[in-house]
């Protein structure tokens, strides 16, 4: 015991005895094991013999102190420089190497080695317990006790790390069992220390300075023990217990820790004495680890103990903050959110209900105190300057919290690997805590939407977490139902988002769906507020979409609201039925048809609107026949071809009706097929059903009536202006859904070869009047109005082009004195409409275009509407002069004109049904645009430059080789000047167009053009991007460049020495 190298000799001897055991033979294994155990006993005995003189010395001194000098306070106090403290270090120095060697050996070898570890631990604990009791009662060298306790705690952590991280799965059970015994004995020693500290410090005797110093050291030691056990050791037990079975129960260990904390909370540890041990409260990260540990546990008795420890810890912390007068606001709100979440999650367990209620109650009270922190409360302690845990990061400004949560959401979306159980519990606890905080704290309201999004992504990925989320979600909902939140601007929106989270995510899990339905059912009773009932009913479609097994219950619940006295609930039921039909979730349509008929005769317009829309979706899903629905509407609501009756209905109902009336195409086709097979007339003759005729007649007449009222500026119009525009938009969209043959139009009507042209004239009249309405109400109409009008107009003008053929653009002979006459004015060119085309919609649109283009005051919106309507036609080359003039016009909102001009140019180049001389003019105009200087190129094309660049795959192949060889590098120069920010779109669009050319190249593609593309991509684009990016990865540009390079033959790449040009390391690697 006098040699400083004793610890090295012990390790060497242990290795020799271990080698003897591994040889085997007669008596070899037993002799080796016995020798190792004898060595361990001698090591422990030898190390603690260094403290015997200290004990003998302090016996007399301790007696004298207790009998004679206690009143005067002449106690012998030892510092870290005292020989007795050094003796403790000597013990540790001797024990540590052999102990760590035994630990490693026990995890890598036989069961005999593990018995060595058990023996070592039990001997150490026995010696330490006896030494601590003697020294604590004699009040000698508290620092020695502190040092021994710290070493034991560290040794336990080393044991767990070495054994659990390196052991195989078969050894985990043994490691947990040995660690459990180790921890159990350590907790008993700490209980003794706390109890002895209470005895020593309770009378307040002793030297003032020395005693305070020793008490402070002991308090820090106990605090370190608590943080290590609760924050690291126990979580390790729980974490590794998920990988194995037959794990030792932690109830006894948790009970020991709980006993220590109870002693401190009730005056233990000398908390009430002058020189008693006052232990600091647990830090935030320990509360967090305990909460995660409770989520991971399976044994209910263990969960109860953890919750009780949380309760004791928060009481102790609160008591300390009150007595010290300091309270760190940083992280406190998050801790109380954790407590509330844990309380709600385990409140349903019978054994946990009481302590869970206590946690919830304490968290709610603390929230009230922390709503508006004072300047004193907001002050951060020195320890809180650097956050100790990720949770502290979420207690800063709301914008910072949202940014951090959004990054976690992105991680959930992109991470392909599944989280571990610990990470799942941690992520869930974070979401639940922030949800409850943002719900209970009005200052955190902007964070709520992001929190709900985060939880939605988390639970969508891990459905089993829904059961833990449900209690906190219900508690958050109850807050808004039972409390009048004046500080929160939109209570209904908050409730709706919480209900939506419950129905969209939690209901997907079959084990959670029943509880979700039970909760929602309770909120649709008569005692619940009407707005809550309506909210729940409106979420039935989402609930059914998440879990279709709930359909029968949803269906039964909806039936109770069909004739409900409350109009809000009837509207909610009708809207939900409509959504169910939209998502095609209705199993038996015959069950809901009576409900729809009841809704159709309701007195409130919204109920009728949803009923009509439900029929619309049922027709789309082919659950109902169009003709049958029209008959029902004629009987229950209104005759659909009676214009005067239609305009008497509410505007919103008319909107729904005209959309439904556009669904006759499928029904008409089936009727046609049936009729043709019966009559033997073949499929060439189309038979139109009466219901389709009535629907089309109603659409046309209603459009003409409404447009006429608006054109005449009739102040007594039945419908408001905005309602008129919406109805006209829906009418145009409904008519456009029909094939023109289906509604009675024929080529003979266009060519005026038949006397009956009523249907064609009415359709043309609808478009012409809608065109006038669009121009007269530019400031009121929305873009969807023009889109519907353009779609219908294109359908009709293409029908006219098919009917008239080339004669549509064959001018009168008197206008052609020369074959290639150049018109100085656009009017001269476009007025040359042949007689066969007069009276067509094309003629009307061309005249409008001429009128707008030659007007002294050009309206970009009106001109662009005409251009868009004619875009799909094969227009004569004279339209190029219009494009040139439009692009050169200097007017406000010029970008409105640029888009349709670019679209028309590209559309004309795509059309193959034209002569070469007609196409040549459009190709020439595309060259003119490409030749624009860089600054003018982007000014002239505005935001439509990417659109032009994306269409180069159509434009470039129509250039001749010489022009292409010259212009391709020139156009790339436009894009290469803008490789940052929005300019990314230009380079990407250009490279994608070149890729398309290389993909579809055929015999018509000029070899010179292909070589020019190779040169631009390899020499110019690759080199420039490699240097301009300066090592930065721009994913769109790099992806487009590499995709384009992949279409180039390998031989061409090698000839251009591509690897020498790719000086960007990222491109080279890819």
How far is CA 653 from each of CA 369, 550, 637, rounded to the nearest angstrom? Answer: 53, 31, 10
Residue of higher predicted confidence among 310 and 364: 310
Measured between its terminal Cα atoms, the distance across the chain in Å is 66
Over residues 7-28, mean pLDDT: 64
- Give the per-residue pLDDT at 74: 35
What tokens appear for 539 in the block?
Answer: 């979420």
What is the rounded average pLDDT of the residues 189-218?
A: 59
Q: Do residues 789 and 771 make contact, with C-beta atoms less than 8 angstroms apart?
A: yes
Q: How many CB atoms lie within 10 A of CB 808?
A: 22
Return d(Cα 598, Cα 578) in angstroms, integer.
14
- Predicted pLDDT at 1062: 54
**Is residue 219 within 8 Å of residue 146, measured between CB atoms?**
no
Average pLDDT of the chain, as a whole number: 75
Instruction: For residue 200, give every residue at least 6 positions away whose Cβ sits within 8 Å of its Cβ, in sequence order, or none.
Output: 136, 137, 139, 270, 275
Most confident of 40-49, 110-119, 317-326: 40-49
Find, among 1014, 1019, 1012, 1011, the residue nearest to 1060 by Cα: 1019
| Beta carbons of 393 and 407 less than 8 angstroms apart | no
Write down the pLDDT at residue 819. Answer: 39
Report pLDDT for 55: 44
Is the sign of the CA dihedral 775, 778, 781, 785 positive or negative? positive
SS3 content of the chain, % helix, strand, coil (to 5): 75, 0, 25
How far apart (Å, rounded) are the C-alpha atoms in residues 387 and 293? Answer: 21
Neighbours of 685 (CB within 10 A): 10
Between 690 and 118, residue with greater pLDDT: 690
CA distance 599 to 612: 9
What average pLDDT does the segment 772-799 reach? 85
Q: Model confidence over 654-703: pLDDT tens digits?
A: 999 999 999 988 644 444 444 444 444 443 455 678 888 899 999 999 99
Mean pLDDT value across residues 320-325 = 50
517: confidence class by pLDDT, cuts 50, 70, 90: very high
Q: Which of 856, 914, 857 is nearest to 880 (CA)?
A: 914
Q: Average pLDDT of 72-99?
A: 54
Q: Are 653 and 608 in contact (CB under 8 A)?
A: yes
Q: Are 956 and 1006 in contact (CB under 8 A)?
A: no
pLDDT of residue 550: 92
More confident residue, 101 or 168: 101
Q: Return d(Cα 901, Cα 879) in angstroms, integer.
A: 10
Give the range among 92-101, 231-240, 293-302, 967-976 with minimum mean pLDDT. 92-101
Percent of the chain with pLDDT over 90: 18
Q: Which two tokens stand for residue 839?
A: 């009276």
| Rounded-to-integer distance, Cα 663 and Cα 158, Å | 75
Q: What is the DSSP letter of 547?
A: -
pLDDT of 954 > 60? The answer is yes
| pLDDT of res. 179 | 78
Tokens of 232: 């690291």
pLDDT of residue 770 exceeding 80: yes
Between CA 255 and CA 34 the distance in angstroms is 36
CA distance 527 to 727: 41
Confidence of residue 398 (pLDDT cuts 50, 70, 90): low
Packing angle, helices 466-482 and 510-522, rounded to 10:
10
What is the predicted pLDDT for the residue at 447?
A: 78
DSSP 466-532: HHHHHHHHHHHHHHHHHS--SSSS-HHHHHHHHHHHHHHTGGGSHHHHHHHHHHHHHTTSTTS-HHH
Q: What are the residue ranges of helices labelled H in 911-1056?
A: 916-930, 934-941, 945-950, 952-955, 961-976, 984-999, 1007-1015, 1022-1028, 1035-1045, 1050-1055
Q: Is the pTM of this model over 0.95?
A: no
Question: Residues 907-941: pLDDT tens digits?
Answer: 888 887 666 777 888 888 888 888 888 777 776 66
Helices (H) and strands (E) in the chain, counts: 52, 0
pLDDT for the residue numbered 201: 40
Query: Which of 172-181, 543-552, 747-756, 870-879 shows the highest mean pLDDT?
Result: 543-552
Asked whether the CA dihedral 530, 536, 539, 545 is positive or negative, the reply is negative
Nearest residue to 151 via CA among 104, 100, 96? 96
Identity of the highest mean pLDDT range in 399-403, 410-414, 551-555: 551-555
More confident residue, 668 or 312: 312
Label residue 435 by pLDDT band (50, 70, 90).
confident
pLDDT at 856 over 70: no
Per-residue confidence at 373, pLDDT binned at 50, 70, 90?
very low
pLDDT at residue 491 in the model: 66
CA angle 548, 551, 556 (to 5 degrees): 170
Of 526, 260, 517, 285, nearest to 392 (Cα)?
A: 285
What pLDDT does residue 399 have?
56
Q: Is the pLDDT of residue 844 over 90?
A: no
pLDDT at site 228: 84
Residues 6+ apart with CB under 8 A from 484: none
- pLDDT at position 389 is 45
Hey, which of 23-32, 178-187, 403-412, 689-698 has the most confident mean pLDDT? 689-698
Tens of pLDDT, residues 450-481: 888 899 999 999 999 998 999 998 888 888 77
* pLDDT computed for residue 256 by the predictor: 81
* Residue 916 structure tokens: 């070469």
Question: What is the reported pLDDT for 810?
Answer: 59
- The predicted model gives 190-216 an average pLDDT of 57
């Amino acid at each position: 015991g006098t040699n400083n190298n004793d610890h090295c000799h012990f390790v060497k001897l242990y290795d020799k005895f271990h080698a003897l055991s591994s040889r085997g033979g007669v008596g070899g294994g037993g002799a080796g094991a016995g020798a190792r155990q004898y060595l361990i006993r001698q090591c422990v005995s030898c190390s603690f013999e260094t403290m015997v003189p200290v004990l003998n010395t302090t016996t007399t001194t301790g007696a004298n102190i207790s009998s004679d000098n206690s009143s005067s306070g002449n106690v012998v106090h030892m510092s870290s420089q005292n020989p007795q403290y050094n003796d403790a270090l000597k013990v540790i120095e001797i024990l540590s190497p052999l102990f760590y060697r035994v630990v490693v050996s026990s995890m890598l070898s036989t069961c005999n080695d593990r018995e060595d570890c058990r023996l070592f631990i039990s001997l150490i604990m026995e010696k330490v317990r006896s030494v601590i009791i003697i020294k604590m009662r004699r009040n000698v060298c508290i620092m020695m006790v502190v040092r021994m306790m710290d070493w034991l705690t560290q040794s336990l952590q080393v044991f767990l790390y070495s054994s659990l991280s390196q052991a195989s799965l078969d050894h985990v059970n043994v490691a947990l069992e040995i660690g459990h015994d180790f921890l159990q004995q350590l907790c008993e020693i700490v209980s003794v220390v706390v109890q002895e500290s209470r005895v020593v410090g309770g009378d307040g005797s002793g030297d003032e300075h020395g005693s305070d110093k020793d008490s402070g050291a002991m308090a820090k030691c106990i605090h370190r023990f608590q943080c290590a056990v609760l924050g690291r050791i126990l979580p390790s037990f729980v974490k590794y217990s998920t990988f194995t079975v037959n794990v030792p129960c932690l109830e006894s260990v948790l009970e020991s820790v709980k006993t220590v904390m109870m002693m401190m909370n009730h005056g233990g540890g000398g908390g009430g004495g002058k020189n008693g041990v006052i232990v600091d409260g647990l830090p935030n990260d320990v509360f967090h680890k305990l909460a995660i540990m409770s989520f991971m546990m399976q044994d209910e008795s263990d969960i109860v103990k953890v919750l009780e420890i949380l309760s004791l810890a928060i009481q102790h912390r609160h008591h300390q903050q009150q007595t010290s007068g300091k309270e760190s606001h940083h992280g406190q709100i998050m801790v109380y959110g954790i407590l509330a979440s844990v309380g709600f999650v385990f409140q349903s367990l019978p054994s946990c209900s009481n302590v869970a209620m206590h946690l919830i109650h304490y968290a709610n009270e603390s929230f009230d105190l922390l709503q508006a922190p004072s300047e004193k409360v907001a002050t951060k302690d020195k320890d809180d300057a650097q956050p100790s845990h990720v949770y502290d990061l979420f207690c800063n400004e709301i914008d910072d919290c949202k940014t951090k949560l959004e990054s976690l959401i992105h991680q959930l979306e992109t991470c392909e690997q599944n989280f571990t159980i610990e990470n799942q519990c941690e992520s869930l606890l974070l979401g639940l805590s922030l949800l409850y905080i943002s719900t209970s704290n009005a200052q955190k309201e902007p964070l709520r939407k992001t929190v709900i999004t985060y939880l939605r992504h988390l639970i969508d990925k891990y459905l089993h977490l829904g059961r833990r989320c449900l209690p906190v979600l219900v508690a958050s909902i109850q807050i808004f139902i039972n409390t009048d939140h004046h500080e929160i601007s939109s209570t209904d929106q908050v409730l709706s988002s919480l209900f939506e989270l419950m129905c969209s995510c939690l209901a997907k899990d079959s084990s959670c769906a029943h509880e979700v339905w039970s909760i929602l059912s309770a909120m649709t009773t008569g005692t619940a507020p009407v707005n809550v009932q309506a909210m729940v009913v409106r979420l039935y479609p989402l609930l059914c979409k998440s879990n279709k097994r709930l359909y029968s219950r949803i269906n039964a619940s909806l039936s109770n609201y069909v004739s409900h006295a409350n109009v809000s609930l009837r509207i909610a039921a009708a809207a939900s039925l409509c959504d169910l039909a939209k998502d095609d979730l209705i199993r038996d349509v015959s069950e809901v048809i009576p409900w729809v008929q009841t809704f159709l005769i309701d007195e409130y317009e919204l109920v009728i609107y949803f009923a009509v829309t439900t029929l619309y979706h049922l027709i789309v899903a082919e659950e109902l026949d169009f003709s049958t629905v029209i008959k029902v509407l004629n009987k229950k609501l209104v005759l659909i071809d009676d214009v005067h009756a239609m305009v008497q209905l509410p505007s919103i109902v008319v909107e729904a009706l005209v959309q439904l009336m556009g669904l006759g195409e499928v029904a008409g086709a089936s009727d046609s097929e049936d009729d043709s097979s019966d009559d033997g007339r073949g499929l060439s003759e189309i038979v139109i059903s009466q219901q389709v005729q009535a629907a089309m007649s109603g659409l046309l007449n209603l459009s003409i009536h409404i447009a006429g009222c608006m054109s005449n500026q009739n102040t007594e119009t039945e419908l408001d202006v905005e309602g008129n525009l919406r109805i006209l938009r829906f009418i145009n969209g409904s008519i456009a859904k029909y094939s023109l043959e289906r509604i009675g139009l024929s080529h003979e009507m266009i060519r005026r070869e038949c006397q009956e042209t009523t249907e064609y004239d009415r359709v043309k009249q609808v478009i012409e009047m809608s065109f006038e309405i669009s121009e007269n109400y530019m400031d009121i109409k929305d873009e969807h109005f023009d889109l519907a009008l353009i779609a219908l107009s294109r359908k009709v003008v293409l029908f006219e082009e098919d009917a008239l053929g080339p004669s549509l653009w064959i001018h009168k002979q008197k206008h052609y004195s020369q074959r290639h006459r150049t018109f100085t004015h656009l009017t001269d060119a476009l007025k040359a409409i042949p007689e066969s085309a007069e009276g067509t919609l094309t003629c009307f649109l061309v005249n409008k275009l001429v009128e707008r283009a030659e007007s002294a005051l050009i309206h970009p919106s009106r001109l662009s509407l005409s251009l868009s309507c004619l875009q799909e036609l094969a227009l004569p080359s004279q339209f190029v002069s219009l494009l040139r003039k439009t692009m050169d016009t200097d007017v406000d909102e010029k970008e409105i004109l640029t888009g349709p001009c670019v679209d028309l140019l590209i559309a004309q180049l795509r059309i193959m049904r034209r002569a070469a001389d007609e196409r040549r003019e459009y190709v020439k105009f595309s060259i003119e645009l490409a030749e624009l200087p860089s600054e003018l190129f982007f000014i002239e094309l505005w935001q439509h430059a990417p659109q032009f660049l994306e269409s180069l795959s159509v434009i470039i192949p129509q250039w001749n080789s010489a022009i292409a060889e010259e212009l391709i590098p020139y156009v790339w120069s436009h894009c290469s000047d803008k490789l940052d920010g929005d300019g990314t779109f230009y380079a990407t669009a250009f490279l994608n167009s070149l890729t398309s050319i290389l993909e579809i190249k055929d015999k018509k593609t000029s070899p010179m053009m292909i070589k020019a593309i190779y040169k631009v991509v390899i020499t110019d684009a690759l080199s420039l991007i490699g240097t301009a990016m300066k090592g930065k990865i721009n994913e769109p540009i790099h992806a487009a460049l590499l995709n384009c390079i992949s279409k180039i033959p390998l031989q061409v790449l090698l000839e251009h020495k591509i690897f020498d040009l790719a000086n960007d390391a990222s491109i080279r690697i890819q």
